Structure 1
Amino acid sequence: MAWEEWERLKTTSGQTDAGDQAPRGDLVAGQKDLAAVGKAAHDLFEDFHAYSGHARVATEAAAGGLRAEGFALGPALSHVAERWTEQTRTLLDACAHISNHLRFTRTQHAADDTYIAGAVSSITLLDEGFDDRKGS
Structure 2
Amino acid sequence: MNGSLEGLLPFLMYFATGLAAMVVFKVLYALLTPFDEWELVKKDFNTAAAISIGGALLGFTLALASAAEHSIAYTDFLIWAAVAMAAQLLTFTVVRFVLLPNIVSKIENNQIAGAVVLASINISVGVLNAACMSY
Is the structural similarity TM-score above 0.5? Answer: no
More relative contact order, 1 or 2 (CA 8 Å, 6+ apart): 2
Q: TM-score, normalised by structure 2?
A: 0.26
Query: Which of 1 and 2 has greater Rg?
Result: 1
